[in-house]
Structures are given as C-alpha cells and as structure tokens.
Amino acid sequence: GPYPICVLRGAQGSGKSTLSSMIKRLVDPNQAALRPVPRVEFEFIMQCEKCLLPAFDNLSAGELPHYFSDAACRVSTGGGYS
C-alpha cells in the first residue's frame, strides 16, 4: 500500500454494481465479481487479501458493520492479520 478506496454512490438502478463489475474485470482475474459484506472483520480482511480489487455489493451506510471503515483503512495501508 497505500492503496486508494473507491466509494461509488448513487440512486438505486444508477449502475453502481455494473461499474464495479466492469472495473474489477479489467484489473482482477479473480472469478468472484461482487461479494456481500462479510459479517466479521477477519473474513473481510481475508477476502481483501485474496483478490486484487475487493468489490462489495448492496452496501448502505445504515447497514455497514461497525468494523468496516477501520478494517478498510487498515487493508488500504497494508495492515492485516498474520
């Protein structure tokens, strides 16, 4: 790292998931296009370490787990579990 974090925002049906999938296919050979948000921090970090560009689907600010923003910052700056 450090790596940037991209947040796509828009109304329902505005193409956020489609754009995320397109960008991911250009950069990351991993077969899983969009993933659901994991329920625990360890799962989140493992998902991020196993692909070049983690892309999560169906996120809303009211539903984000409490760990998500801190864990995303750690992953983007090179942190993780050993």
pLDDT tens-digit map of 25-80: 898 887 777 888 888 888 888 888 888 888 888 877 667 788 888 888 888 887 76
Q: Structure pTM?
A: 0.73
- Rounded distance, CA 71 to CA 4, Å? 14
* pLDDT (0 to 100) of residue 19: 92
User: Rounded CA gap, 80 and 73, in Å?
Assistant: 10
Residues 33/12, Cβ–Cβ less than 8 Å: no
Q: Distance between the two ends of the chain, CA-based, in angstroms?
A: 16
